[in-house]
Structure 1
């Protein structure tokens, strides 16, 4: 009987272990930096963003710290703002899950970064969580004089 209980506990512990996979698919590895594409995602989630939709360009560590506090995110990355800007994309409040916002690509021309925003929504008939969501994405981009969102 003790063996059965121990095996059950062991099974539960093993089944709870998860591995974060990076871009290159190796567990626990962050993968290759997306900065080769002029951007790198710092954080993104379907929950905890702002109720209204907007995009923001952040040019200082102080403002980034403040934004992370607003979003109740404890671990704030240190960004080299001499070489980078940060963009924050907020989709606004949605009535269900299945929504997301991210960066499709960033093109730099004539000291202007053109950030192509990618949004997704649930397909018709798709099963989604019935909870209010506020998708957002925060990423570093190569520093430019101007940022345009597309």
Structure 2
């Protein structure tokens, strides 16, 4: 058994507890990813929580008693969906975060992994009470839900295809890949690729991340934190391919013309084709 910082026994009717409690998880059967979704609509608490805690909401009545109403109201089918909310409690300034990193399931339990961030020494902050939180929607379950505090994963890639002269949700297709999961970002705005702004759906599909990054050409690896554009992406409505690679604090960004331009080497063109194929594959995954 592994030690978990929090245990929420849904089957026993317990739907909230402190983030400082501790329990042993059961760990039975194979582990698979859970298709969770970010939840940002109508998520302001009626009363902010000063202490850190976690809650699970399984009914409209509990939702109405927990969150302030908003317009338009959130539409949640609680016969198939549960909300999991993590609240870091009152903090003295901005710069604090609490984030759910992954959700996995076995035959007898669900494990939600999360991390917290605090401002580093020297970071500019604005004093004043803040209440960091993160809320997701998961498929409704009768299994016990455990929360596991983990280190933030700073090794991941974002890939995407974009097209300016296009309308509709399929014009900008963006995904985050890491060792645990794949996220499909929602409603990405053209030429604004700060993914922290966007909601997402986590796919059940899991990418072999080490294999993926192992195929990045040396020419791109050597950029190490730079941003580079190949060709003139979307200059004649042909769209483009986006690649962002996080290696700890080093972030490399690439914009690729869909046309095979003269500044694209054979290895870069081959990598671009890999990205195009990967995006096409991820469009078919749940």
TM range (shorter): 0.5 to 0.7
TM-score by length of 2: 0.36
Structure 2 counterparts to residues 7-86 of structure 1, below 5 A: 37-43=34-40, 49-69=48-68, 73-75=69-71, 76-86=73-83
Whether 1:125 and 2:116 are equivalent positions in the alignment is no
Q: Looking at both structures, which has the greater relative contact order when contacts are Cα pairs under 8 Å and sequence separation is at least 6?
A: 1
After TM superposition, what 4+ stretches of structure 1 lie above 3 angstroms from structure 2?
A: none
Question: Given the alignment of the two structures, is residue 95 of structure 1 paired with residue 92 of structure 2, yes or no?
Answer: yes
The alignment status of 1:137 with 2:115, answered yes or no, reads no
- Structure 1, residues 30-50: CA drift from partner, whole Å, max 9, x if none? xxxxxx8521111278xx842
The count of residues paired between Structure 1 and Structure 2 equals 110
Note the residue ranges of structure 2 that are not aligned, 5 or more in a row: 1-32, 149-286
Equivalent-residue separation in structure 1 for 2:108 and 2:119 (angstroms)? 36
Q: CA RMSD in A?
A: 2.1
Structure 1: stretches of 5+ with no match in the other structure? 1-35
| The structure with more helix, counted as a fraction of residues | 1
SS at match of 1:95: strand
Query: CA separation in 1, counterparts of 2:58 and 2:92?
Result: 32
Contact 2:92 2:127 in 1 (8 A): yes
State the SS of the aligned residue for 2:100.
Answer: strand
1:104 positional shift? 0.4
